[in-house]
Amino acid sequence: MNSKTLFKDKNSLTIRYTPDTVPHREEQINMIGGILAPALKGDRPSNIFIYGMTGTGKTLVTQYVVNQLKEIASSNNVTINVLYVNCKMKRVADTEYRLIAYLAGLLGKKVPATGLPTDQVYKIFFEALEEKTGVVILVLDEIDALIEKVGDELLYTLTRINQDIDNSKVTIVGISNNLSFTENMDARVKSSLSDEEMIFPPYNALQLKDILLERADIAFNEDVIEDGVIQKCAALAAQEHGDARRALNLLRVAGELAERQNMTKITIGHVDCAESKIDLDHIVEAVKTQPKQSKILLKTILMLSEKSSEYIFTGDVFDLYVTLCDKIGIKPLTQRRISDLIAELDMLSIINTKVISRGRHGRTRTIRLAISGKVYTKVSEYLNNEFNI
Ligand SMILES: Nc1ncnc2c1ncn2[C@@H]1O[C@H](COP(=O)(O)OP(=O)(O)OP(=O)(O)O)[C@@H](O)[C@H]1O
Ligand SMILES: [Mg+2]
């Protein structure tokens, strides 16, 4: 048997695939469905704010519910218009102009990519809304990215839209995996956006197992998955934070590794390899996308950790960092900014920091590298290539 017989439909394990069933989200589906149901009678539903960690099914569930609503609506001769925007998408939601132009476009009005006064773009969008009968459900996925890029003024306008428009009824569904952005949000925007609030909990290992079993049936041929493989993928993903995307990725990569080795079965060993591969790709990618100053900082920490396996003191890091900046010919950041960057590297799990007491010298923060083995080698090679010091 050759490797071709492992996968039946590999596409079903990628993010592009939308499953027909959504196990373990009945409660969320019913709740969102219930909140949006008035749209079927032509009444405006409350706005909803959906929050939950990454991979907890927010996007999937929302799309599932609005698609079902649209189906019921069309069999009842009612119109429901759904405008879905992923605000992380480049060239769509990075300026107010672009977003409103994009929304107008979804409603069938063409707006030039640049050039019009913003007022004019709004006018076209409002006119397009006026022409629509029935409720318009505006789904703003990754809404934190929108606020970060264009501020909350735009959302204020959107939440007030129904006062300016006679014919149409707009409901906003905001989705985010990051709650902290609401802290700085205008209180009025925040409260009208979250008429209804919903939190998606992380999946546990048993739930992830069910999700994987359903998907594996579609993705793989019969009898190619060894006992324990699905459980292992589920357990690893549950350990992290109940992330279905990670669970599916582990299974897909394990399958690809087995395929590459021309194996007839996917084993637990493949899952272990998949885990290291995903982590490796993830961390190396994270390092590559850091700002230059952060990379110099990390290079500094790597150099110090090669000298001693003990904890590294932030004071030593700063001194060597300044020296390296001099060598490279770049202006060093202040100690305060470096502290921020250290905290960021900690968040990315590239380093661990800990505050310790040094007796009469007071308290200080110490650093230890959190990467080892293959990841360490890759990161180290990359930084050596970047900075020839
Ligand atoms: N209950 C489920 N049943 C089947 N597949 C699921 C389920 N929940 C999530 N998935 C799958 O897991 C992946 C992640 O789900 P989704 O994109 O909805 O997460 P999210 O909460 O929107 O994450 P993020 O905050 O990162 O955008 C998708 O491929 C989705 O199809
Ligand atoms: Mg999502």
Q: Note the pLDDT of residue 3.
A: 45
Q: Is the CB of 57 under 6 A from ligand 1?
A: yes
Identify the residue whose C-alpha is closest to ligand 1 atom 18.
Answer: 57
Query: Taking the CB of residue 10, how many other CB atoms lie within 10 A of it?
Result: 15
Q: What CATH fold (topology level) applies to the domain 26-200?
A: Rossmann fold (3.40.50)
Higher pLDDT, 1 or 142: 142
Q: Model confidence over 317-367: pLDDT tens digits?
A: 999 999 999 999 999 999 999 999 999 899 888 999 988 887 787 788 899
> What percent of the chain lies above the pLDDT cut of 70?
98
Q: What band does 133 get if pLDDT is binned at 50, 70 and 90?
A: confident
Q: Which ligand is nearest to the CA of 252?
A: 1
Q: How far is the CA of 51 from the centre of ligand 2 (A)?
A: 10
Give this prediction's pTM. Answer: 0.82
Q: Is the pLDDT of residue 383 over 60?
A: yes
Residues β-bridged to residue 80? 135
CA 142 to ligand 1: nearest atom: 27
Domain limits, the chain: 3-15+204-286, 26-200, 290-386
Per the structure block, which two tokens stand in for 122?
A: 């709004």
Alpha carbon distance 143, 58 (integer Å): 12
Mutation choice for ligand 1 from 14, 60, 86, CB with most ligand atoms inside 8 A: 60
CA atoms within 13 A on the CB side of 235: 8
Residues β-bridged to residue 367? 312, 353
Q: Note the pLDDT of residue 4.
A: 59
Q: Is the CB of 244 under 6 A from ligand 1?
A: yes
Q: How far is the CA of 176 from the centre of ligand 2 (A)?
A: 7
Q: What band does 290 get if pLDDT is binned at 50, 70 and 90?
A: very high
Q: Is the CB of 24 under 6 A from ligand 1?
A: yes
Q: What is the mean pLDDT of the segment spanning 39-45?
A: 94
Identify the residue whose C-alpha is closest to ligand 1 atom 2.
Answer: 22
Q: Which ligand is nearest to the CA of 60?
A: 1
Higher pLDDT, 281 or 167: 281
Which of the following CATH numbers is that of domain 290-386: 1.10.10.10, 2.40.160.20, 2.30.40.10, 3.90.1150.10?
1.10.10.10
Q: Note the pLDDT of residue 192.
A: 87
Q: Note the pLDDT of residue 361.
A: 75
Q: Note the pLDDT of residue 160.
A: 87
Q: Which ligand is nearest to the CA of 54?
A: 1
Lowest mean pLDDT among 74-88, 222-236, 296-310: 296-310
Q: Is the pLDDT of residue 297 over 90?
A: yes
Do the beta carbons of residue 343 and residue 323 sit within 8 Å? Answer: no
- The structure tokens 């902290």 sit at 180
Q: How far is the CA of 287 from the centre of ligand 2 (A)?
A: 23
Q: Note the pLDDT of residue 185.
A: 83
Q: Model confidence over 141-184: pLDDT tens digits?
A: 999 999 888 888 899 999 888 877 777 689 999 999 987 878 77
Q: What band does 1 get if pLDDT is binned at 50, 70 and 90?
A: very low
Q: What band does 311 get if pLDDT is binned at 50, 70 and 90?
A: confident
Q: What is the mean pLDDT of the segment spanning 285-298?
A: 94
Q: What band does 209 get if pLDDT is binned at 50, 70 and 90?
A: very high
Domain 3-15+204-286 of CATH type 3.40.640.10: no
Q: Is the pLDDT of residue 129 over 70?
A: yes
Q: How far is the CA of 203 from the centre of ligand 1 (A)?
A: 10
Give the chain's end-to-end CA distance (angstroms, integer): 51
Q: Is the pLDDT of residue 22 over 50?
A: yes
The b-or-e profile of 283-300 (16+ CB within 10 A means b, else e) is: bbebbeebeebbbbbbbb
Q: Is the CB of 201 under 6 A from ligand 1?
A: no
Q: Is the CB of 271 under 6 A from ligand 1?
A: no
Tell me what the pLDDT averaged over the chain comes to.
92
Domains 3-15+204-286 and 290-386 share a fold: no
Per the structure block, which two tokens stand in for 315?
A: 């004071």
Alpha carbon distance 86, 92 (integer Å): 8
Q: Is the pLDDT of residue 308 over 90?
A: no
Mutation choice for ligand 1 from 17, 59, 143, 252, CB with most ligand atoms inside 8 A: 59
Per the structure block, which two tokens stand in for 316?
A: 């030593």
